[in-house]
Structure 1
């Protein structure tokens, strides 16, 4: 009997940023891999009945997932595939919910067409995680809500195992997050792995032992966290703000104008209409209970 093949697609969240092991990253997907089959010995054990391949790349957007990661993933013919992506799209001046929806639909369809079990997740918006001022945070929150609505609808369409990871308790628990406030720490990555495993078990698919929710390594000291932010963390943020910042200032100015006029609701209506149009173009009917 061949091993269960698990392939992970996405960005830095799935790459494992925030959960350092040795000289690299581990992350929730690697932690989950050990629980996808009975007797699994972990993704690094050659005797393990799970073959895990992580194709996620820091900074990836839906375009990279569709054009680069998906062909590589399809070639591996996975039994289980995770596609957790979208935050980096919201951090770019090129953000287009129509394009995001079209790309995700193609990715999901390609893997489910091979018979793979698809894992997806909706995520908290980066503005709230970073604690940005309201006029800066609200445009990013609106974009992330749009992506989440698309992911919800397409997950239903393709029968995905979907994790709701944008709840308030997840966002508010600082013990779950790393120093950069955008990526989970080890505890957060473990929580993602545990919750995905639970959903798979409920669907009769996660037959191995659940990953441990307890951290293996001590929490980084405050000085270590500050050092990371001053070196690699600052560079990480700078790379992602190069093209976003000018547009974010424009979005913030638009936000303040609407608030001054009492017409902020128009921005939400406009964003909701864009999501509905994007899904209609794909002939996807959105569930009425999706917010």
Structure 2
């Protein structure tokens, strides 16, 4: 947001510009009925261990009414993916936050490989990883309760205008939709919100030209930085996908 000082901590923020994501929009709406103190410890690119080791301690030790814990997609894109570690980090965060009185806001993730437009051989194993993260959130929700949004239940999550130019983070429409979804659920839990988050967007969906410019300026350098990490994982996923089909072929011939 040009001229905004709502949150200058996001990656890529420049002087005179700020970020206003779904949590900030939700805080504004809660402010229509309550006195609200909002703190954003989220950082672009964070993984579950980073949330547990860095963001959680930064939140202090005082009482909290509402806390969002949404992390995991970045973990699935790394060769160091460890479903058990993600589960343990989420459990630790849930225990620490609910002990301080927090109502947890969490999600179940959608098939983000479809958003990326990945080929099927890479999309399937990525979805398997995302489902392992979802299982960790299922366990978190079963133990601590709270409010959980199933993003796969919203068809618009697969629309291009839901996402920012990088297709990894929500765009304005996506942030507004998430803010409204959580606001609706909070009201069902008895939290009054006089003015719910608006769904009308002030900005425009990234154009094809913007997509191309982003890929040249940001996407390609990002891929170059991550190639050493992602290439072995992608190759392994491809072999994992191909082998079962080849084995089935051999078995059919033998039969």
Which residue of the partner structure matches residue 198 of structure 1?
184
- 1:238-288 CA deviation, whole Å, 9 max, x = no partner? 44454122112112111111133349xxxxxxxxxxxxxxxxxxxxxxxxx
Contact 2:10 2:43 in 1 (8 A): no
Which residue of the partner structure matches residue 142 of structure 2?
156
1:35 aligns with 2:43: no
Which residue of the partner structure matches residue 114 of structure 1?
100
Structure number with larger C-alpha Rg: 2
Q: CA RMSD in A?
A: 2.6
Contact 1:36 1:50 in 2 (8 A): yes
d(CA) in 1 for partners of 2:163, 2:14: 13
- 1:15-51 CA deviation, whole Å, 9 max, x = no partner? 87799995232211111111224356xxxxxxxx221
Contact 2:32 2:195 in 1 (8 A): yes
Q: Secondary structure at the match of 1:84?
A: coil
Q: Secondary structure at the match of 1:53?
A: coil
d(CA) in 2 for partners of 1:58, 1:161: 23
1:237-248, aligned counterparts within 5 Å? Answer: 237-248=223-234
1:75-154, aligned counterparts within 5 Å? Answer: 75=61, 77-154=63-140
- 1:190-243 CA deviation, whole Å, 9 max, x = no partner? 101110111111111253411101102233443233222221233344444541
15, 19, 39: which is aligned to 1:25? 19
* TM-score, scaled relative to structure 1: 0.75
Deviation larger for 200-209 or 189-198:
200-209
Displacement, 1:140? 0.6
Contact 1:123 1:148 in 2 (8 A): yes
Contact 1:17 1:183 in 2 (8 A): no
d(CA) in 2 for partners of 1:144, 1:20: 32
Q: Secondary structure at the match of 1:75?
A: coil
181, 195, 212: which is aligned to 2:167? 181
